[in-house]
Structure 1
């Protein structure tokens, strides 16, 4: 709940009642403007079609928007993009800059430069973007709690491109999560708005007096707070939990090696399990304050954590935790800092009791500081990746992957799949099977694969050729997996040349 009584995902006229599900006002449907959906196809890349429609998003934000979505970026390994741009007065067609932007993303992805969640595209053209030199580019966000009712959306996976201002581009480069959450607080929409508004006031101006000046190089962008993919910080009653996915161990060790012995800073990710977060607000004088957006009885999350190993033993505290801007500062003695780094290096759980050394139960204070317990936990997690322009998903216990190179295995499976189906390309294309899926299950006692398109198995001739190419590959890989099975999925596209 925002401090002014507005629910996340609601508009400014909504009273503060019990949180609804989903996070939008019920009883009102999004009314579309009477305008048929259009499809635009670029001549130089016909696989990258753009769908466009003008509609009024009335259930949540009550504005008329251009709803543009790509269909075909996945053929070059890029997640599809969606842009919701507020319609300008008198505007009858979507701006040409959006189509140029989509084409730029396609061309970059074709060269292997993909945009991902919380990534950015910065524009430096002298004539500006969307009619203004104050527009800096786009920040990419994945929808979570936002209302998507009645929107024109591409097939999953997709991300939204949200327009940002020039003053906001430094934060998009070094700490995009802070920018995303700050826009959510500005527009009273949790966790952030999906509608792009032109010529709005930036949520950040000069960098000002922030702790990030000590952790980030704003001049040359040579270093920043290392963000561990999948790492989240949950702040609950008298307990702060730091959850590291085991399959990101290499990123953790890299962050340890690049930090000094006395200070360790780590950037967290947005957590769908936490329906509230800390946001930092820049004041007019350049100082930063903390604001909390809460939903009752759900864990609150932070955007970063800094461990400082300079706490004196004469302080009478075992450790001290305090909220700094939209993150946490944990002060611990030097010997505990060494033990923490050793635990992270060896992938072990670690507890940090906070509060007076004589206290039987650590106390917890309000928003300004926390003196409860901090717990570092390693958790099992599925992984996802994109190797060589192919979309891939992997499920299974991460310790299975110690003796198997998933990238190499994905390459072998993809090559075998393509070799098997190359003689059938014309037949598949004629039948409309241009999007093909391969799902393999790898385990000593359970090995096999499924292949199909549009929810149906491929023809017998295709399956016979796939058997000849894939069966030897999956059996060799499965022979080394004795614990949880690894389930690997690949998606292929037949492209028009």
Structure 2
């Protein structure tokens, strides 16, 4: 944009930087802005540098004292006590050599908030100085790593808590899962930046005597990417790690999955939504990036869990090697990843006896049109979603000599009636003189259908018009051996937001459209930050043609979010101290009503009165603008410590 009619020349505006409002993508910035962003990036580097720490620098055992208060230990060598109690929120770095251990009396009398500590896990520090970190936690006795491990071995009821920053915790416990002794490491605080919580089940090594602290650093990286760049992890997303991660040069990061048929018994789990991280090796990373469903199901076949295990094993052999003569080399750019197999949300491929069904939700027609417009005329290829209604699934196994074989994985002790497929390819390469109506075959873990060019054009028209379509495969005069491929549109929306409830009254948000706020909206006051993270459209306004007025709704929700934040800004400390760090605001335009709450209850009356004065004018104005429409939505906010 041009501000005050200033025009920047190429030299002054030829730099690029990853920008939040572009979803983490690079955009052009001027020299002044680039310098500011680089300085902020320097703080991030310092943050990461100080986070790669030895376990002795980060010990936080948790004990329940009463419902409101728990015991926590962590070492804070960032700010002295007099600085931590000041109101200066600028990040401060401090040498750990200047830290002096407090006396017992000093520890007992310490009540210091860590909201001002940007670097909470300095590198190489020892367990010396302990502070109270927030109102929900208090100081316990000084502990050593060996004593903590011994306590974990005895089977703690509550997990240990590790403070990663003032808004992010890691909960650690040793569990027995599927007859395997595993570290259970889960995050607490990712929801506040719009990111699902992360759970890692890592199988313990024989005689292991150290905590897997690399996972803590990885959690911090995920948190920072979500907070600053809007880079969020979802089902089948992946994250990368540097060499040496978890002690192995081949450990490359995690593939994230939602649990489906797997058992969760005995696992301490965060509130929904959450994802399990599966350890990925470097040889498997191309599949995690380009075709994650193949890797997920291959892990399931390796460890005999359907569809995949929830635990990770270090120093295992890779399941895939060099990419050779796979059909995916024709469909995916494995070098630069400029193109991959497109995915339409909720689209599934079911293989049954002599029939194949490709089902597409009607609500995803716009996504399908984008795929059609980007594909070449002779080829139509798409990846399918995992089908929870199927009792088995095709998988692809790479042999020792590099060849790819087709196998199947199924639910234990259940008959195989419906088999899922990972992808389909329609090719217009069949000649009319071949004597075939169409040819269908299973290739690796997907379906290949060869049709004539005329049939391909008919198929594309049917998809554009959202019409059901049936292909007959086989020779012309052998009806008894013919098979069928049915493309069907369904009204049923794919299930999502499982287990998510409203903070206002506990209303289920399952299968309700949710939009994350890519452009961060937050307000700071009294050392706290209130942040708007997402909006749920309980009842959505639509035009006659069926398309939502997304631009108008975006502006409307932003107006309510700003009014809500500004009204509560001066009360953030009180709200957080009362345990109301997650807030909800539900707006009903046609009834000119609003409802605000937290922890399943409405906000106290004095907050409601303040909100009424600020919001009713916006509600009435919006109601006049959106007459004869029915629109109801719920905004979600979080109150955080101001650490930036």
TM-score if structure 2 supplies the norm length?
Answer: 0.65
Q: Is 1:322 matched with 2:438?
A: no
Find the residue that maps to 2:219 and give its secondary structure: helix
Paired residues of 2:202 and 2:312 also in contact (CA < 8 A): yes
Q: Which residue of 2 aligns with 1:293?
A: 409
CA distance in 2, matches of 1:480, 1:235: 46
CA distance in 2, matches of 1:162, 1:385: 26
- 1:288 deviates by 0.8
Q: Which residue of 1 aligns with 2:75?
A: none
Paired residues of 2:300 and 2:306 also in contact (CA < 8 A): yes
Rate the CA distance shift 1:398–1:474 in 2: closer, same or farther, 3 A. closer
Deviations 1:108-148 (A, max 9, x none): 111112222111112233xx111110111111111111111
Q: Is 1:92 matched with 2:209?
A: yes
Paired residues of 1:278 and 1:292 also in contact (CA < 8 A): yes
Rate the CA distance shift 1:385–1:190 in 2: closer, same or farther, 3 A. farther
Deviations 1:164-207 (A, max 9, x none): 11110010111011101110111100111111100011111111
CA distance in 1, matches of 2:387, 2:587: 29
CA distance in 2, matches of 1:135, 1:144: 25
Find the residue that maps to 2:350 and give its secondary structure: strand
Q: Which residue of 2 aligns with 1:305?
A: 424
Rate the CA distance shift 1:428–1:361 in 2: closer, same or farther, 3 A. farther
2:489 counterpart (369, 377, 383)? 377
Paired residues of 1:52 and 1:68 also in contact (CA < 8 A): yes
Q: Which residue of 2 aligns with 1:435?
A: 582
Q: Which residue of 1 aligns with 2:290?
A: 174
Where structure 2 has 5 or more consecutive residues not aligned to the other structure, the ranges are 1-151, 494-510, 521-532
Q: Is 1:188 matched with 2:304?
A: yes
Paired residues of 1:119 and 1:140 also in contact (CA < 8 A): yes
Rate the CA distance shift 1:461–1:239 in 2: closer, same or farther, 3 A. farther
1:255 counterpart (371, 376, 389)? 371
CA distance in 2, matches of 1:487, 1:105: 32
Rate the CA distance shift 1:101–1:292 in 2: closer, same or farther, 3 A. same
Q: Which residue of 1 aligns with 2:236?
A: 118
Rate the CA distance shift 1:348–1:410 in 2: closer, same or farther, 3 A. farther
Moved more, 297-306 or 212-221: 297-306
- 1:454 deviates by 0.9
Q: Is 1:387 matched with 2:517?
A: yes
Paired residues of 2:175 and 2:266 also in contact (CA < 8 A): no
CA distance in 2, matches of 1:236, 1:32: 49
- 1:235 deviates by 2.2
CA distance in 2, matches of 1:480, 1:300: 47
Paired residues of 1:177 and 1:303 also in contact (CA < 8 A): yes
CA distance in 1, matches of 2:196, 2:331: 31
1:208 counterpart (308, 312, 324)? 324
2:394 counterpart (251, 255, 278)? 278
Q: Which residue of 2 aligns with 1:47?
A: 167
Deviations 1:312-352 (A, max 9, x none): 22233332221111111111221121122122223333222
Q: Is 1:416 matched with 2:563?
A: yes
Moved more, 129-138 or 348-357: 348-357
Q: Which residue of 1 aligns with 2:197?
A: 80
Moved more, 458-467 or 199-208: 458-467
Find the residue that maps to 1:372 and give its secondary structure: strand
CA distance in 1, matches of 2:607, 2:633: 20
Rate the CA distance shift 1:320–1:409 in 2: closer, same or farther, 3 A. farther
- 1:360 deviates by 5.7
Q: Is 1:343 matched with 2:465?
A: no
Rate the CA distance shift 1:32–1:220 in 2: closer, same or farther, 3 A. same
Q: Is 1:453 matched with 2:598?
A: yes
Where structure 1 has 5 or more consecutive residues not aligned to the other structure, the ranges are 1-30, 364-370
CA distance in 2, matches of 1:63, 1:229: 34
CA RMSD of aligned residues (A): 2.6
Find the residue that maps to 1:385 and give its secondary structure: strand
Paired residues of 2:358 and 2:485 also in contact (CA < 8 A): no
- 1:409 deviates by 4.2
Q: Is 1:464 matched with 2:609?
A: yes
Paired residues of 1:268 and 1:303 also in contact (CA < 8 A): yes
Paired residues of 2:341 and 2:382 also in contact (CA < 8 A): yes
Q: Is 1:37 matched with 2:156?
A: no
CA distance in 1, matches of 2:343, 2:517: 21
Q: Which residue of 2 aligns with 1:11?
A: none
1:133 counterpart (249, 255, 261)? 249
Q: Is 1:425 matched with 2:572?
A: yes
Paired residues of 2:541 and 2:629 also in contact (CA < 8 A): no
Paired residues of 1:413 and 1:473 also in contact (CA < 8 A): no
TM-score if structure 1 supplies the norm length?
Answer: 0.83
CA distance in 2, matches of 1:475, 1:398: 12
Paired residues of 1:246 and 1:398 also in contact (CA < 8 A): no
Paired residues of 1:231 and 1:242 also in contact (CA < 8 A): yes
CA distance in 2, matches of 1:298, 1:452: 47
Rate the CA distance shift 1:480–1:115 in 2: closer, same or farther, 3 A. farther
Structure exhibiting the larger radius of gyration computed from Cα positions = 2
Find the residue that maps to 1:159 and give its secondary structure: strand
CA distance in 2, matches of 1:354, 1:475: 55
CA distance in 1, matches of 2:265, 2:370: 41
CA distance in 1, matches of 2:238, 2:611: 39
Rate the CA distance shift 1:305–1:489 in 2: closer, same or farther, 3 A. farther
Paired residues of 2:358 and 2:487 also in contact (CA < 8 A): yes
Deviations 1:2-24 (A, max 9, x none): xxxxxxxxxxxxxxxxxxxxxxx
Paired residues of 1:278 and 1:301 also in contact (CA < 8 A): yes
Find the residue that maps to 2:298 and give its secondary structure: helix
